[in-house]
Amino acid sequence: MTSRNKTRGPLGLFARYLPILDWGRQYDRNALSNDLIAAVIVTIMLIPQSLAYALLAGLPPEAGIYASIVPIMLYAVFGTSRALAVGPVAVVSLMTAAAIGNVAEAGTMGYAIAALTLAFLSGTILLVMGVFRLGFLANFLSHPVIAGFITASGILIAASQLKHILGVSAGGHSLLELMVSLIAHLGDTNWITLIIGVSATAFLFWVRKGLKPLLRKAGLGPRMADVATKAGPVAAVVVTTVLTWGLNLGTHGVAIVGEVPQSLPPLTMPSLSPTLVGQLFVPALLISIIGFVESISVAQTLAAKKRQRIDPDQELIGLGAANIGAAFTGGYPVTGGFARSVVNFDAGAETPAAGAFTAVGLAIAAIALTPLVYYLPKATLAATIIVAVLSLVDFSILKKTWSYSRADFFAVAGTILLTLGFGVETGVSAGVILSIALHLYKTSKPHVAEVGLVPGTQHFRNVLRHRVETDDRVLNLRVDESLYFVNARFLEDLIQSRVAQDCPIKHVVLMCSAVNEIDFSALESLEAINRRLGELGISLHLSEVKGPVMDRLRKSHFLDELTGAVHQSQYDAWAALTGRRPLPAAAE
Amino acid sequence: MTSRNKTRGPLGLFARYLPILDWGRQYDRNALSNDLIAAVIVTIMLIPQSLAYALLAGLPPEAGIYASIVPIMLYAVFGTSRALAVGPVAVVSLMTAAAIGNVAEAGTMGYAIAALTLAFLSGTILLVMGVFRLGFLANFLSHPVIAGFITASGILIAASQLKHILGVSAGGHSLLELMVSLIAHLGDTNWITLIIGVSATAFLFWVRKGLKPLLRKAGLGPRMADVATKAGPVAAVVVTTVLTWGLNLGTHGVAIVGEVPQSLPPLTMPSLSPTLVGQLFVPALLISIIGFVESISVAQTLAAKKRQRIDPDQELIGLGAANIGAAFTGGYPVTGGFARSVVNFDAGAETPAAGAFTAVGLAIAAIALTPLVYYLPKATLAATIIVAVLSLVDFSILKKTWSYSRADFFAVAGTILLTLGFGVETGVSAGVILSIALHLYKTSKPHVAEVGLVPGTQHFRNVLRHRVETDDRVLNLRVDESLYFVNARFLEDLIQSRVAQDCPIKHVVLMCSAVNEIDFSALESLEAINRRLGELGISLHLSEVKGPVMDRLRKSHFLDELTGAVHQSQYDAWAALTGRRPLPAAAE
């Protein structure tokens, strides 16, 4: 929660939903010039990228540019990040293609309308989540699952672009489908396209890896060298376009972008037909969540570098507005992109105004520059996508989680395999379900330690790990988990079999320092444990029960029926039940 | 885990899967006579009950009897409960009707085959769960959800039988559908049927409530009085059958049971058509889980009374075998029933042999007595069902959970409403999902307490609830929840905003006594917290980290990067950071 929440009244509400009022008041000439420079650099980078991502989504190239104009402006008004650049991004473009590919044929009017509808639904979902402060829902995607999903998506995206490099037609949602389809069409390869595609890919890889050190050696500053390498795709676009035009390669079967309307973003209407909304709702939800997670991670990383704060719920509103903007201006689902935001930040953007200036730059490009991309080969765009997404592929998460936690490893591995095997929607849903299932499985069999007193202290630790003092008549158990329905019966069974083995036990003390909740199922189990121990002449005690848990227990009959007592600390329980009290106990 | 697990080798494996070897060896004349008496009483009770539940499941009456014969015998061999009586029960019969009603028309051959297939699938699922020791999966149904589901099912079942009392045809899965359908057919009411149905219902209610005190007054022992009242349905069956036969009421539109084949259970084959298996798999899973939960609760309650132990995983195998038996002998899904098991137990059953004798009794009934039920009115069977299930209806769980825990209350209320509104399958699935979602929601915003030292002790408690010692430079936070992906970001935000408010803080100590797990997502969050605090010149410390959690952390780089230290106890951390050490600290 930021201090913005404390502002009340109609003006306060305004300020809450319009962060622009915050930074707009302090805007000065210095910020303006920094923002303008950043905007020029980002605009140049975004022109080929926007065309490429539209291609990835199966939409006409101009949709990528339109999706960058109005959404950027709306985010500038409603968003809280100062450097986030909103527009089409790789993963969301792929998810868009997967979602609308199920309801319409690529290239048709229905396909474009489905894209608008998807953006509209996604925007509405994000807005609703923001207004109801449901940003925490994004937490149900664990970090490793996100990492696995992004890696697998990167591979899928790269694979989906190979058809453009080869100049053949192919398709599919899973890696296997994509590969089978590609191999089946391998005979149709257009060799000129392949040469363009492979050269462009090789050039872009070299720009990414080799150019920067070269420029640094040539005496360029680190920031300028960085910016120059980001312009690599522009060079590839210019060179291959000129070649295709000069040698008239279009007539030799090289697929080109072709006619792109010279126009500002048009006014468009998403369809609200219940059938279409029904078909697209779940994909829109997944796109919203993935988009939000990607965007908020970028925004938080960049904000932390300048000690700024991001308000996740307001971010939902900013992204929601951006997507609704995309839906009415010929775009498709957008979010805060990693690459474009980092370029924006590195180029010195100070406020969201940089985004607004970028939008103006792209609007000029949409009117003035579109005829120039007529001869741009689609293979070049595919090459820019492949090089961009392969940097997302990072299998190190598998190694890291394997050594740290097997459950996390299985969640990541499952997400990667399911994404590659069944496509993005199955992959991300399965990732969420896997994470939750593994978490529940772990808590269903909690760690329970028998504890004893660390000599000379009031501190109790596991008898198996530490040299501690114990007493035959008193069984001290520390349950390392909240007690709730998933593990309620586990504790019943455990205590039953533990006291069955051990005759001298007269008291069982449950040390509740790690019990953060006792739900109704667990309460019933505790009642059963208390009753059964009572029948064996053993009394049940609790110690270190947390305030909120104790408040709850007081509302039930359990404390009246408890055969033993509730002790403030485990040491108090020990002193009372064994009579040994080397140190003074806690005041009750 | 019982000691049976410790037995190894082929004979041990035998003993594990065949509990009959346990009790069979010690079987004597005394146990035999007790078991025989119990079997006679249970057989008499089961004849009308089996016919009635078959009616509820939409199957011919003999299916109910067949479902009680071979399954009981198989359970006697494989089950671990000494008193559990396996056979058709109300809730599972209703779930069977709902499941197979979707794939076939009641009364057709396909319907009967679907019932066999459902039993086969359910048996296989239970067996597999047993072999892989997946009994814990049943814990995902919380106690309140089960209570709510049983209550709502009782109401649905009673409502579904009203058509037999009125003598009309009606149907539906939800309470609303059932009621609308009944009201639409109200005009077709058969008045003679109605008189029989209402009288039988009233008589059975009176037997349940009024007869027992009367018999006790007449000098009967409590156990005999109890057994006699359980024979009430038999009396109702005899009287109404004789009346219907004598007055020839069948010709006046009173629906009667009619011809029931005089035969031992036939050999039948479930269908394994992939379509049917696909359609019935999810219902079979739900039936398995609900059946298992009902059965294990009854078995554990009865076993506890005699200090016996139930092995849940072996119970799965026993119930699985029983259901597979039902599939091959003309039955339908079965489980351990509450009413019949309690009668069996009260009648003095000592071993599963009582069940085997009951099976013999029912087999004799199937051959010899079936012609006698020709004139039995269906309205009488409906009356026995209504009276039996209304005893399951208990809304007190709503009141109990409301006062103890709102989350549990919402889970129960949701389960009841969804079961009544959309039928049993939706109801129970929603119950599971609701329980899990509410649990995750609660853990997503954990309770975090700022703690201080209770004077004169080494014990730390919440500064808001106790009079404790604190230090301006040291922020001691006790997080009352395991740190995992759902709440990882929460802690980041919380610490960020807490240290932003408070300037003198130099050290943050996370007291981890309640942190039972730190998953990979939370590890990354801790790394981020450590880095950000470090940038502000604040060091991060941990205290009271549990053994298993510490083992994990040692495998990562986190401890190398940690700006502060890991302290064995919170008191050690306090002493080290404040220099105040009124009492000796724990040995490291």
Interchain contact, B439 vs A405, CB within 8 Å: no
Q: What is the pLDDT of residue B9?
A: 52
CB contact under 8 A, B443 and A568: no
| Strand extents, DSSP E, B495-562 | 507-511, 539-543
Nearest to A523 among B404, B440, B442 (CB): B404
Q: Say which residues have a Cβ less than 8 Å from residue B106's Cβ, sequence separation at least 6.
A: B58, B97
Q: Distance between CA B148 and CA B153 in Å, rounded?
A: 8
Question: What pLDDT band is residue B126 in, cutting at 50, 70 and 90?
Answer: very high
Establish if B511 touches chain A: CB-CB under 8 angstroms.
no
Is B142 an interface residue toward A (CB < 8 Å)? yes
Tens digits of residue pLDDT in B550-571 = 988 998 889 999 999 999 888 8
A429 touches chain B (CB under 8 A): no
CA-based nearest residue in chain B for residue A493: B1
User: Chain-wide mean pLDDT for chain A?
Assistant: 85
Give the A:B interface size as CB pairs under 8 Å: 202
CA proximity to A157, closest of A431, A420, A335, A430: A420
Write out the two tokens for A457: 């202290």
Q: What are the structure tokens assigned to A278, written together?
A: 């029904």
pLDDT of B307 reads: 64
**Separation between Cα atoms, residue B238 and residue B165, nearest integer Å:** 17
Sequence-distant (6+) residues with CB within 8 A of A544 are A511, A512, A513, A567, A568, A569, A570
What average pLDDT does range A188-213 have in this prediction? 88
Whether the pLDDT of residue A588 is over 60: the answer is: no
Angle between helices B109-131 and B274-305 (to 10 degrees): 60
Of B304, B497, B584, the CB nearest to A457: B584
pLDDT the model gives residue A487: 84
- Which pLDDT band, with edges at 50, 70 and 90, does B327 fall under? very high
Query: What pLDDT is stored for residue A326 in this prediction?
Result: 95
Which pLDDT value is given to residue A1?
A: 35
Cβ contacts of B303 on chain A, cutoff 8 Å: none
Asked if the model's pLDDT at residue B522 lies above 80, the reply is yes
Contact B514 A546 (CB under 8 A): yes
The residue of chain B nearest to residue A525, with distances taken between CA atoms, is: B143
Q: Average pLDDT, stretch A547-573?
A: 89
DSSP A74-101: HHHHH---SS--EE--HHHHHHHHHHHH
Smallest Cβ–Cβ distance between B458 and the set A443, A459, A462 belongs to A459
For chain B, say whether A407 makes contact (Cβ under 8 Å).
yes
pLDDT at A47 over 70: yes
CA distance B390 to B3: 40
Give me the DSSP letters along B486-507.
TTHHHHHHHHHHHHHH-TT--E
CA atoms B286, B287, B288, B293: torsion sign: positive
d(CA B121, CA B280): 8
Interface probe, candidates A519, A574, A581, chain B, greatest B C-beta count within 10 A = A519
Alpha carbons A336 and A340: distance in angstroms, whole number: 8
Task: Summarize pLDDT for A149-178 with one digit per residue, the tens.
Answer: 888 988 988 898 899 999 888 878 788 888
Q: How confident is the model at residue B70 (pLDDT cuts 50, 70, 90)?
A: very high
Of A415, A125, A73, A373, nearest to A240 by C-alpha is: A373
| Per-residue pLDDT at B454 | 87
Say whether residue A480 is in contact with chain B using an 8 A CB cutoff: yes
- A470 CB within 8 Å of a chain B CB: no
Look at A439 and B486 and tell me if their CB atoms are within 8 Å: yes
Report d(CA A213, CA B562) in Å as an integer.
34
| Contact with chain B for residue A208, Cβ under 8 A | no
Mean pLDDT of chain B: 85
Q: Read off the pLDDT of residues B382-429 as tens digits, 9 standing for 90 and up.
A: 898 888 888 878 888 898 888 888 888 988 999 999 999 988 888 888
Select the residue of A401, A444, A584 nearest B520 (Cβ to Cβ). Answer: A401
CB contact under 8 A, A496 and B143: no
Task: Report, as an integer, the average pLDDT of B297-306.
Answer: 75
Residue A139 to residue B532, Cβ atoms within 8 A: no
Contact B309 A136 (CB under 8 A): no
- Buried b / exposed e along A241-250 (16+ C-beta atoms within 10 A): bebbeeeebe
Q: For residue A347, how many C-alpha atoms fall within 13 Å in the half-sphere facing its CB?
A: 31
Q: CB distance A405–B519 less than 8 Å?
A: yes
Residues 262-291 of B with CB under 8 A from A: none
Mean pLDDT of B100-120: 90
CA A540/CA A257 separation, integer angstroms: 77
Taking the CA of residue B207 and the nearest CA in chain A, the distance in Å comes to 32
| B4 and chain A in contact, CB less than 8 A | no
Amino acid at B243: L
| C-alpha to C-alpha distance for B13 and B9, rounded to whole angstroms | 6
Instruction: Determine the Cα–Cα distance for residues B15 and B77; give it in Å rounded to an integer.
Output: 11
User: Measured between alpha carbons, how far is residue A293 from residues A126, A137, A355, A393 in Å?
Assistant: 12, 10, 20, 17
Q: Do B520 and A404 touch (CB under 8 A)?
A: yes
Q: Residues of A numbered 291-310 whose beta carbons fall under 8 angstroms of chain B's beta carbons: which are they?
A: 304, 309
- Better-predicted residue by pLDDT, A239 or B407: A239
